[in-house]
Copies of this chain bind each other. A is one copy, B any other.
Amino acid sequence: MPRTSSPKRTPGKATAGASSRRTKRAISKETATKIEKLAESVLRSVQGGRNPFLDIPVRSLANVSWSERRRLIELGSQKQKRYFFNVSMAKKFMQSFLVSDACKELIDSGKTTSIRDLYYITKHTIGDTRQNTFEDQSESDPIIEDLEVTLDALREELHLFAARKGSMVGPVTITDTGDTIDLRRMGSGGWAVPSIVEENVITFRRHEAKYVLLIEKDAVWTRFNEDKFWKRNKCIIIQGGGQPPRGVRRLVQRMHRELKLPVYVLVDNDPWGFYIYSVMKQGSINLAYESMRMAVPDARFVGLSSFDKTAYQLPTNVAIKMEDRDNARARQMLAYPWFKKAHWQREIQEMVRSGLKFELEALSRRGISFITEEYLPRKLRDRDWLE
């Protein structure tokens, strides 16, 4: 049976701005309807005496490609059929419907849950056998991903949440499940970013922000918050404790699209920092089918650049030596199509050449507030960023 809609959503559909904001009920109804249609088509196959199957987009590397035009890592059009009457597929077929059924129930009851919980909810021993529906979570997680691509619905729309990290403050008022929250008055802690930040949960109200600043590290975010950088510079600051979790990525994308705010990414000068920027910008290979809902192709890299050690006079004793795995990772990156631009090649090559990497905290050697008072203001003033 066919997918319920195209795997390549148009941005317009995914953004649905303030004027066409879908209500909580509408989004849930849409996803529930997709699940029902899937079930009905299988039922029709059974009634017609045919072998029922699911048509699942392939999530393997071979079906992932870089779209030059959209500047995103995308899933291709390959699909595979999962049959019910097939010894090697029957169990997964059954699992797919167990998970669909549980998600439908979640949606109908208006509740959300974790993917760990979903595993426990759907786990039971079949009839009088010793066979369990799932042995462990490593069996149920891929089924969730299958369902996401098959239904063209993010797991958040299936009412499933992932682990979450991260905090946010700035000149913006939001509503979160009915509560109006002024992110200008969030103290030192900030608002904790939840995992599900879809339009039925989070909406944006009044704001005076000029841009969004995603900061790799919690400790650096705390510096920016303590120095009230966001107030002086009218920006929203957000961090996800290292590689940003889904909630942070989705929220940054929504602010970019709905509030029309440029996005700047501030990370360490090491392969991991570059990778974080890369995932924010064009999505990841593992979750290519979600790039359209998570990635921000216009995101700008504001450092640390491999050339900042000279531009900002960082002493060599605050550098860290590149390890073998750092060099290997950097060489991999040189080959990625999205790092093929000359300035990125220079950037990565300089890191390999010097054999040195730098953390954002190294800027503190120039003064504790050097990063908020001199480094970033100069970067932005000089438009000294990479794209």
Is A114 among interface residues, defined by CB-CB distance under 8 A?
A: yes
Considering the chains assembled together, what is the distance between the CA atoms of A344 and B223 in angstroms?
A: 43
- Chain B residues with Cβ below 8 Å from A178 are 187
Considering the chains assembled together, what is the distance between the CA atoms of A116 and B181 in angstroms?
A: 32
Give how many copies assemble into the complex. 2
Contact partner of A193 (CB less than 8 A), chosen from B106, B113, B189, is: B189
- Chain B residues with Cβ below 8 Å from A165 are 165, 241
Q: Does B185 lie within 8 Å of A194, measured CB to CB?
A: no
Q: Tell me the minimal C-beta distance from A42 to chain B in angstroms.
A: 25
Q: Tell me the minimal C-beta distance from A199 to chain B in angstroms.
A: 13
Q: Does A106 lie within 8 Å of B368, measured CB to CB?
A: yes
Q: Does A317 lie within 8 Å of B161, measured CB to CB?
A: no
Q: Does B318 lie within 8 Å of A120, measured CB to CB?
A: yes
- Chain B residues with Cβ below 8 Å from A359 are 116, 120
Q: Which of A62-70, A121-129, A258-266, A284-292 contacts B (4 or more CB under 8 A)?
A: A121-129
- Chain B residues with Cβ below 8 Å from A315 are 124-125
Considering the chains assembled together, what is the distance between the CA atoms of A317 and B181 in angstroms?
A: 42
Given A192-B192, A193-B189, A222-B161, the answer on whether A121 and B365 have CB atoms closer than 8 Å is: yes
Contact partner of A111 (CB less than 8 A), chosen from B120, B202, B218, B368, is: B368
Q: Mark A363-387, 1 if CB is under 8 A from B, else 0.
A: 0110011000000000000000000
Q: Does B192 lie within 8 Å of A189, measured CB to CB?
A: yes
Q: Tell me the minimal C-beta distance from A231 to chain B in angstroms.
A: 12
Q: Does A120 lie within 8 Å of B365, measured CB to CB?
A: yes
Considering the chains assembled together, what is the distance between the CA atoms of A189 and B165 in angstroms?
A: 10
Of residues 188 to 214 in A, which have CB atoms within 8 Å of B's CB atoms?
188-196, 201-202
Name A's B-contacting residues (CB within 8 A). Answer: 106, 109, 111-114, 116-117, 119-121, 123-125, 132, 161, 163-167, 174-181, 185-196, 201-202, 218-219, 222-223, 226-227, 241, 315, 317-318, 359, 361-362, 364-365, 368-369
